[in-house]
Amino acid sequence: MRKTFRNLTFFVYKQFKLLWISFTIFLLVVFSYINWHNNVTNSFTLVTEASNKLAFKVDHFINDIFQSSYLIPTYKRNNLTCAGDFIPYLQHILRNHPQISELAIRDPEHQIVCSTLPNNKTFLLNKNLQQTIIGPFDSPMFNHPIYAIQKKIGAYQVEIVIMSPILEGTLHIPNSGSRTVTLYDTNKKQEIIRVGEIKDDSWINKVSFDSSFTSEKIFATTKLSSLDGVILTVTEPNQIVINNLWYNQILLSLDILVLSLFLYFIIRNILNKHYSLHGAIKQALRREQFYPVYQPLFDAKHKVYSGAEVLLRWQDNYDEIIMPDLFIDEAENTGLIVPITLQLIEIAFEESKNILTTQPTFYLSFNICALHFTDNYFFPRFYKLVQHHSISPQQILLEITERYLLDMNNQIYINRMQELRKAGYSLAIDDYGTGHSSISYLQHYPFNYLKIDKLFIHSIGTKAITETLNDAIIQLAKKINLNIIAEGVETKEQLDYLLYNKVRFLQGWYFSKALHVEQLIELLQGEKNE
């Protein structure tokens, strides 16, 4: 279970960038939807408020007109005449209500009884007895289309004429922008009047009086209490909604992206400390998770184990062993190889102190690279560790991989190597033949050991091109008086070839794998008892 969790967290870390981008996109989508929904909701709320306020205004306007009509004596007596009974009241209403253009009264048989028009002239009106508004009508007597508001009072029907500018002014919304206001007759299913313009009329056929909102348009409807079957609709143009949406969306997206970027670097930094190779190495150093194992070197001349190469291992928090191939390049590139090496040397000195004390000819070999030579603190601390643990320099072999040798004329390397050799330390060129090495390396640097890479050892008996190079490397080393160490010896055929060519020092699984110090002690004690 723990391993599964670790693998999962490591996968998250490795794919963190992609996952975070996906998460950010998800946030953008979610908040964009929320923003759209809120924008639509706010627009609908504002439109609804405008519709309710405007409906109240229209109802007040209509009711005020109707209130004045109650002065007409339609309830007092029958057989009323126009000139004697109605005209004075009608003219009084016109004088006191400039919004009203003309008035007319019809009897129960829908005949004109009285009209303020010249010669008691009539105009086309609806015979419907409902309290409603009809129009518009064009008349040569008026400069504008007219609307008729009708209401039954007693046995008579009062019809009030208003001009379209008056009704449009009543329907006008201050600071409304591009909103459209419409009066709609639900009985006839037709538009009465519209203030403002919208490009698409399709919404009008989709009005639901049980729900004031549709996804196609932002509009709100309110039933007028003053007129039967008439609704007032306020519509918000799509472009206004879209413009507001885009403005808010741009601001929201910028906020999300800035916040996401900020959190990304914070979380990434935290994850790096725990999961990145660099961060994991630093944590391993603090927790002292690096430890040595020892691969013995066999002296074929004296038939004894004369030394051991100290190899680096890393045991993580999950008790898993991490091999150097997985982290050594990162350690070298970041400079962490220096403190790792010092920690490894100190542990190795502490563990193998008894071996080195009881066997003065036994030596330990450590791998170092060019970075150790250029670091100002490595060798001073190395010398202190040697001194502190009372280790003889003759018991230490430093292996330098040839690919790390830079300019062969680099005086820093040469001076340090000469210093080490003068102090009694041995130096080996490691993995010889695998890089860009040449005889020049061996001429300029004070090596006393040459280590043949296992690539060449494994080619023995294969008739590969690399097999033929073994003879050349061995002969070269002998001519310049270098001790030869053959690493990666695994078979009897390889051993026989090396013994035939008088290669003295042998290392590989044929003799022993890398051992913990307790196992190394048992191996050396068993060898001694033999």
Q: Which of 237, 262, 281 is the endpoint of a domain?
A: 237
Q: Does any domain span residue 506?
A: yes
Query: Which of 429-438, 443-452, 486-495 reaches the highest mean pLDDT?
Result: 486-495
| Cross-strand pairs, 221 | 233
- Whether 242 is covered by a domain: the verdict is no
296 and 206 together in one domain: no
Shared domain check, 496 and 407: yes
pLDDT digit string (tens) for 77-111? 566 677 777 788 888 888 888 888 888 888 777 77
Half-sphere exposure of 352 (CA within 13 A, CB side): 34
Assigned token pair, 518: 């307790």
In a domain, 11, yes or no: no
Instruction: Report residue 444's pLDDT band, with 50, 70 and 90 as the boundaries.
Output: confident
Residues 36-91: tens digit of each pLDDT:
888 778 888 888 898 999 999 999 988 888 887 777 776 555 666 777 777 888 88
Number of domains in the chain: 2
pLDDT score for 274: 63
Give the pLDDT of residue 213: 38
Domain endpoint, select from 237, 258, 275 = 237
Return phi, psi of residue 339, to 5°: -65, -30
Asked if residue 259 belongs to a domain, the reply is no
**349 and 444: one domain?**
yes
Assess whether 522 and 453 both reside in one domain: yes
pLDDT tens digits, 321-370: 888 888 888 898 888 999 999 999 999 999 999 999 999 999 999 999 88
Lowest mean pLDDT among 110-114, 253-257, 304-308, 355-359: 110-114
Residues 162 and 38 reside in one and the same domain = yes
Contact status, residue 150 vs residue 160, Cβ threshold 8 Å: yes
Same domain, 322 and 191: no
Do residues 299 and 231 share a domain? no
The residue ranges of DSSP E strands in 316-460, in sequence order, are: 321-322, 363-368, 396-401, 426-432, 449-452
Write out the residue range of the structural domain in which residue 30 sits: 18-237
Do residues 204 and 336 share a domain? Answer: no
Burial class (CB in 10 A: 0-12, 13-18, 19+), 198: buried
Let me know if residue 252 belongs to a domain. no
- State the pLDDT confidence band at 273, using cuts at 50, 70 and 90: low
- 467 with 318, same domain? yes
Which strands form 112-115's sheet, in the order they lie side by side?
A: 112-115, 102-106, 156-163, 146-153, 132-137
Does residue 342 share a domain with residue 227? no
Considering the domain boundaries, does residue 504 fall inside one?
Answer: yes
The reply to whether 130 and 191 lie within a common domain is: yes
Domain-embedded: residue 335:
yes
User: Which of 209, 237, 265 is the last residue in one of the domains?
Assistant: 237
Which uninterrupted H or E stretch holds 348?
helix 337-351
Residue 297, domain member (yes or no): yes
CATH number at residue 308: 3.20.20.450
Same-domain pairing of 338 and 487: yes
Does the pLDDT of residue 11 top 70, yes or no? Answer: no
In this prediction, residue 438 carries a pLDDT of 59
pLDDT score recorded for residue 378: 95
